């Protein structure tokens, strides 16, 4: 087993993951009121990156929710719809602009943030705002954002199913957390990290029902392990993606199926895995325990920790994001750091 040196994790991100259940339940018990949304009315969630990830996983599980991941409101949003603006910092430019545009159109809005411009806009426009804490990073704050969004959605849906599913997951998370955070013993996260270790590029083929998880995985691979990866719906691979394996080098394939996959989707995963293996490439399929939302969230937790282990195996600090800071400074018109 590849050595994992926790000393490289200078901000101790792994410690954040040990607190996921505790922090998630804490936010799940917050008090928040919002008017129930009519069934025929759409609920939109504006958010970027890690702030959008919980909404995407909820969509993977079949919840009625539309995602806005830029500053432009979709054409099908109407004045009777509701827009939830989610930004942990409260200052994400795209989300702030989407919120302002929604307010200008007279759309019902709700804000979720740790503060920042989102909170200021909500307070100045008498818009409901749910203030949430934060952990080390936006990506490690996943349970806080997920619980806050679940709380808001439960009010808009007028039912508690999503809260009950989240609580069931938190109740089961402690045993999974103890296993995966024990780096001295081989576990699923370590096995996945070991599989990814020597790849020059990681390709992720996902089910139509795990698109949100695939995006989350791509993002945490980039932010935690500084690894390059691409994601593709398995149903597209036969038509345009499979040929690239004929002239590739050092890539590995990760398959992300879903419990909701029908025979057509399952057969596509099986066929693609066979072909890629026959061409000499490593293939790993990711699955988990539990049912429904719990199954999806267990994969998120397992894969997040795997990307941190991958960083430590590569002797990289998972918390350092110098390129993000350079880009922010550039967009703000400041002199880039040298």
Q: What pLDDT digit, counting tens, does each position of 283-294 carry?
A: 999 999 999 999
Closest by Cα among 296, 272, 276, 299 to 286: 299
Q: Tell me if the pTM is above 0.75.
A: yes
**What's the rounded Cα separation, in Å, for the pair 77 and 9?**
43
Long-range contacts of 153-156 (CB under 8 A, 24+ apart): 153/43, 153/58, 153/63, 153/65, 155/32, 155/33, 155/34, 155/35, 155/36, 156/34, 156/35, 156/36, 156/37, 156/43, 156/82
Q: How far is CA 75 from the centre of its chain?
A: 25
Q: Tell me: the pLDDT tens digits for 234-258?
A: 999 988 778 888 888 889 999 999 9
Name the CA radius of gyration of the chain, rounded: 20
What residues does each domain of the chain span? 6-174, 182-313
**What's the rounded Cα separation, in Å, for the pair 326 and 223?**
14
8 A C-beta contact, residue 81 and residue 118: no
* 6-174 and 182-313 in the same fold: yes
Fold exhibited by the domain 182-313: Rossmann fold (3.40.50)
8 A C-beta contact, residue 84 and residue 110: yes
DSSP bridge partners of 68: 46
pLDDT of 199: 95
CATH for 6-174 is 3.40.50.10490
Name residues of the chain where pLDDT drops below 50: 337-338
Helix H or strand E segment including 251: strand 251-256
pLDDT of 247: 81
């Amino acid at each position: 087993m590849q050595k994992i040196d926790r000393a490289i994790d200078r901000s101790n991100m792994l410690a954040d993951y040990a607190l996921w259940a505790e922090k998630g339940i804490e936010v799940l018990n917050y008090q928040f009121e919002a008017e129930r949304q009519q069934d025929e009315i759409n609920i939109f969630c504006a958010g970027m990156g890690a702030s959008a990830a919980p909404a995407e996983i909820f969509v993977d599980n079949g919840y009625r929710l539309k995602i806005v991941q830029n500053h432009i409101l979709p054409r099908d949003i109407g004045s009777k719809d509701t827009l939830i603006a989610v930004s942990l910092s409260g200052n994400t430019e795209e989300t702030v602009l989407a919120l302002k545009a929604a307010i200008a159109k007279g759309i019902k809005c709700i804000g979720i943030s740790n503060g920042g411009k989102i909170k200021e806009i909500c307070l100045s426009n008498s818009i409901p705002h749910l203030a949430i804490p934060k952990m080390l990073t936006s990506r490690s704050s996943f349970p806080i954002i997920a619980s806050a969004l679940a709380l808001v959605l439960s009010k808009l849906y007028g039912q508690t199913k999503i809260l009950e599913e989240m609580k069931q997951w938190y109740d089961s998370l402690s045993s999974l957390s103890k296993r995966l955070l024990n780096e001295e013993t081989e576990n699923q996260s370590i096995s996945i990290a070991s599989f990814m270790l020597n790849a020059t590029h990681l390709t992720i083929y996902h089910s139509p029902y795990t698109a949100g998880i695939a995006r989350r995985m791509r993002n945490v691979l980039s932010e935690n392990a500084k690894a390059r990866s691409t994601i593709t719906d398995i149903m597209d691979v036969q038509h345009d993606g499979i040929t690239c394996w004929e002239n590739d080098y050092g890539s590995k394939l990760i398959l992300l199926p879903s419990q909701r996959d029908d025979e057509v989707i399952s057969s596509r995963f099986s066929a693609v895995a066979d072909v890629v293996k026959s061409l000499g490439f490593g293939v790993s399929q990711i699955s988990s325990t539990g049912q429904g939302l719990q199954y999806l969230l267990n994969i998120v937790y397992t894969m997040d920790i795997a990307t941190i282990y991958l960083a430590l195996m590569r002797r990289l600090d998972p918390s350092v994001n110098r390129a993000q800071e350079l880009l922010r400074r550039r967009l703000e018109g400041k002199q880039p750091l040298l």
